[in-house]
Structure 1
Amino acid sequence: MKQLIFLIILSSQFCYSQTKFERNAKCTKTKNFTESQRLSNFPFSETSQIKLISFESKKLEFTGEELSNHLNSIKLKIDLFDPTIYTEVATLSSVQINKLTDIIYNYSYKKFPYSVGEAKCYEPRNAIIFLDKNNYIISFIEICFGCDRYRTSSQELNLGEECTEKFEMIKSIFKECKIEYGITRRD
């Protein structure tokens, strides 16, 4: 009888722990920065337009290498945005910008989860490009949705507090804008 009671207590604690882990590992809205507070941060404070792009390598390089090389070659605040370079281009509406900044600044884990995801190859196919009122590129976020990693053109710019589901939320904005390469289509 004591063994049965012990097993019941042990199994109930295991179930509770699993539920607690699942709650901690979910990306949820943990902050409530207003739209104006979010837009006051760089680069949103200096941005006139935000472009979502996909970039399909045309040369025989590793997937993502050509996009990274292109973004590395951009002279910020000097180079104009040229849509003909990219495979697909979409301009975010004010509603979509609000959704993007909400994801970046207001979502995170309630508590850091107990496990760490596995690292995969970094093969970026997409980017978010920030333009000023004269169409000059002022900043960018290069994204690999395959491994949920990114890099930015500035230390001032990031995707906020880490939480894995952020990449799926941002990916949904790309889908909404009809960007396919790197989102629903790979190679």
Structure 2
Amino acid sequence: MMSKILIWVFSIFFLCSYGQKKKEKHVDLLADYHSFKEGDLKKGFKPAPLTIRISTFPFNKATKVQIISYNLNLKRSTANSYMPPPPPPKTRADSCKITKYYDSIKKNAKFELREAVESSTFERIQESKTLTLPEISELSDVLYNTCDKYYIRSVSSSGCFFPRNAILFYDEGDKIFAYFEICFECSAIESSPRNILDPFKTCEYIYPDLQKFFKSKGLTTEYVEKK
């Protein structure tokens, strides 16, 4: 009888001790989680390999990837408020002035990538580069692995959006089926189709690396003062 009581008491003591240890471990995990600050590097982070990155849309469908620059001669504050002067009289003698007039309107109007893709008119793209396979690997690494390195609890946007750069994805028919527009001045990315990237992959840390990538390929990413 005494041995049974001892076993019973020992069992209760063991269960209580085990429960206490589990509780302490749970508290430690919470404390550990809250010890990380926004932007801290993740311990044991493993980047997504190239095979995973290129199997993700839109890379998995692309036969060509191109980066471009546009709107380089327009200030963000004035591009949408530009009012052209009245046109010159439409006479044969003024045909040269009329040509210059319409050229001036085109030069000072904001380039809209969506409209260009829909109409297949890309004359106003100022810089472009078709990426090689190693460069595509480099770009996909920036897009899919940069923000995943960090502890991020929220993603914010400045509200402005005046893109000067984009990443274009072409299908087998050499048609653009998807693109990312990028505003480095606002630190913002928009895509077509919408929401291709998870919002947490467009954190603030991606823009310096992405801008560095564009510049390393010879593309301009900022406003260029007119000469």
TM more than 0.5: yes
Change (3 A) 1:120 1:156: closer
Determine if the alignment matches structure 1 residue 161 to structure 2 residue 175.
Answer: no
Q: Pairwise mapping of residues 164-183 of structure 1 onto structure 2 (< 5 A)? A: 164-180=204-220, 182-183=221-222
Separation in 1, partners of 2:113, 2:145? 31
Contact 1:38 1:102 in 2 (8 A): yes
What is the SS of the residue equivalent to 1:143?
Answer: strand
**4+ residue segments displaced more than 4 Å:** 26-29, 57-60, 115-118
Which residue of 175, 186, 192 maps to 1:136?
A: 175
Separation in 1, partners of 2:69, 2:61? 23
Contact 1:30 1:107 in 2 (8 A): no
Q: Find the counterpart in structure 2 of residue 9 from structure 1.
A: none
Q: Which runs of 5 or more residues in structure 2 are unaligned?
A: 1-34, 82-108
Q: Find the counterpart in structure 2 of residue 38 from structure 1.
A: 53
Contact 1:30 1:106 in 2 (8 A): no
Q: Find the counterpart in structure 2 of residue 66 from structure 1.
A: 110
Separation in 1, partners of 2:174, 2:127? 17
Change (3 A) 1:100 1:58: closer
Contact 2:41 2:151 in 1 (8 A): no
What is the SS of the residue equivalent to 1:133?
Answer: coil
What is the SS of the residue equivalent to 1:84?
Answer: coil
Change (3 A) 1:102 1:118: closer
Q: Pairwise mapping of residues 98-137 of structure 1 onto structure 2 (< 5 A)? A: 98-108=137-147, 110-112=150-152, 119=158, 121-137=160-176
Give the structure with the larger strand fraction.
Answer: 1
Q: Which has the larger radius of gyration?
A: 2
**Length-normalised TM-score, structure 2:** 0.58
Matched-pair identity in %:
23
Change (3 A) 1:170 1:57: closer
Give the structure with the larger helix fraction.
Answer: 2
Deviation at 1:92, TM superposition (A): 1.4
Deviation at 1:51, TM superposition (A): 0.9
Which residue of 127, 143, 146 maps to 1:88?
A: 127
Contact 2:146 2:205 in 1 (8 A): no
Change (3 A) 1:35 1:62: same
Change (3 A) 1:58 1:179: closer
How many residues are treated as equivalent by the alignment? 159
Contact 1:125 1:144 in 2 (8 A): yes
Contact 2:72 2:224 in 1 (8 A): no
**Length-normalised TM-score, structure 1:** 0.69
Change (3 A) 1:26 1:127: farther
Structure 1 vs Structure 2 CA RMSD:
3.3
Amino acid at match of 1:47: A
Separation in 2, partners of 1:132, 1:48? 5
Amino acid at match of 1:165: Y
